[in-house]
Amino acid sequence: MNDAAHIYSQNRDHDTMGGRLSRARDSAGLTVAELARRLGVKTSTIQAWESDRSQPRANRLAMLAGVLNVSLSWLLHGIGASPSDESRSDLVNAINVNLQRLRRAHEESARLIVQIEQDLARASNSG
């Protein structure tokens, strides 16, 4: 989703930046220690950011957004799609794909049942 196109039309995430950072980290499946290692900072630094006792510098913000796969606008201001929105969308897409596969398998099964019934009918008539 293009954050700039919808900046005024979307509901804002009113959590703090630290709260959004924590949620994004959880959504990415990273521990505080893992995120700290990837960014080259101490775990206490990540903890301070997540508890809103301090904020990352601009270069770390860009790295955070990239590592956590979120937009800077969402991380900083709560504008745009949150990680939970995106993962929910991914889940819905995956379910739809599996539903389509199941429908195709069901249609194929129905065709096979008809074919078997026809074969049985021919077999019993010829015997």
Q: Determine the pLDDT at residue 91.
A: 66
- pLDDT over 50 (residue 52): yes
For residue 31, what are the domain limits? 4-81
What are the CA-CA distances from residue 100 to residues 86, 96, 103, 111 (Å)? 21, 6, 5, 17
The whole-number average pLDDT for the span 41-64 is: 94
- Tell me the per-residue pLDDT of 68-124, one tens digit each, with 9 for 90 and over: 989 898 898 888 777 765 555 666 776 777 788 899 999 999 999 999 999 999 999
Helix (H, G, I), strand (E, B) or coil at 51: coil
Q: Which is more confident, 95 or 49?
A: 49
**Same structural domain, 23 and 43:** yes
Q: pLDDT at position 116, please? A: 96
Q: How far apart are the first and last CA of the chain?
A: 66
- Summarize the confidence of residues 26-34 as an average pLDDT: 91
Q: Tell me, yes or no, whether 89 and 51 share the same domain.
A: no
**Residue 9, domain CATH:** 1.10.260.40
Residue 15's contacts (CB-CB under 8 Å, 6 or more residues apart) are 23, 78
Cα dihedral: 80, 34, 26, 48 (round 10): -80
What's the domain count of the chain?
2
